Each structure stands twice: as C-alpha cells, then as structure tokens.
Amino acid sequence: MAPVSALLRRLTLPVLAAAALAACDASTVISNPDISYSYRSISLGRFHGDDNALRVVVYGNPFDDPPARVAEAIVAGMQGHNGGPAMTFSIAPAPPPNPRWRVIMVLNPVDFYNTQALCKMTEGPETAPSQDGRIHVIAAYCQGDFAATQGFARAKDVTALDSANFDRMLALLTRTMFPTRNPNDDRRCRTIACL
C-alpha cells in the first residue's frame, strides 16, 4: 500500500490542473460578496408569507428585450439556488408580512457600485446595453433600507437572456447572496472546528 503522502501527491496534480483550467475559463465571476452579521437563512422561511415569495426588482435591459421578459429571466435563473428554506423569487409585489424585503438587481450599471444605496433608491441607476457579450450585475437583498447581503457578478459570452453563462451567473450570485450558513457566524465554531 502506498504511503499517504505519495497518494496525496498523485491526487494533487489532477486537482491543480482542473483548478487551473477552471480559472482560465473564468466565464462567470462573483466578487465582493458581503453578508451582514445579522443575516440568518432561517429568516427566509419565517418572514415571507405562506408561499415564501420574495420580490425581485430588476433595473437594466442589456439586450433590448421587453423589461418584463428581462425580469422573468432573472427570476427564473434564481429559482432553486438559495441556501436555507426554499424561496419563490417573484416579480410580483411582495406580500405581507414584509413587503419591503426584496432583492434588487441592476444589470450593466453605469458608474454605480454602491450596493448599500440600492435599498434606499426609488428608481434605478443609469444602465447600458451589453457589449461584446459581457454583462455585469450588482445586487442586494434588502430588508427595508438595509442590505442584508450584497454582491457583484460578471459574465462573458452572454449574447441573450437564454445564454448558459447568464443562467450560471444568476445561480452563483443567488447562492452567494443567500448562503445556508452565515460565514460571519462563528457560534458553531466554538465547539466544532470550522473549515
């Protein structure tokens, strides 16, 4: 039987090669995620009504599609990708008990990067159409005027709303903004080593 160190060396090369290939592709990138210390995924199942609906507000129209079609594509790309209780992302006005809890997504904002300000805006910032198949998004999960989670995403080779990279970007951004466990919550780590 080979020693553990030899086995690890044999396994390391394929893993590093796969990681290098994935990094070279980099067709979708999620950056600057910020999860508030107060975020709890369990609250997603407590405060959004019977169907667990959460409103998504979309600004921007990267491919000159009807705005309703853009919003529907965003919501479809988010479904089933959040951590915690199952959510129904919706473009319909949010029902009680918390209608001001919502996700705001801005597609291709022009010189606007303040995700905290998204939750206080009454109209979206200026946006631009996509160029060369590139798209970028800023997003925030708002609880009233406060961004509980936020992040940036960008993708290339996106030529239409049904592009695979567009769906991949939305899925990754949703997973990042709605983690199962808050990475800032170290209470569990006091008794169990966190990885």
Q: Which of 98-102, 121-125, 127-131 has the lowest mean pLDDT?
A: 98-102
Mean pLDDT over 10-21 rounds to 40
In a domain, 132, yes or no: yes
In a domain, 25, yes or no: no
How much of the chain, in percent, has pLDDT values that exceed 70?
Answer: 75
Structural tokens at position 181: 């466990």
In a domain, 50, yes or no: yes
Q: Count of domains in the chain?
A: 1
Q: Note the pLDDT of residue 161.
A: 95
CB atoms within 10 A of CB 65: 14
pLDDT at 62 over 70: yes
In a domain, 93, yes or no: yes
Q: Is the pTM of this model over 0.85?
A: no
In a domain, 187, yes or no: no
Find the domain containing 137 and state its range: 32-180
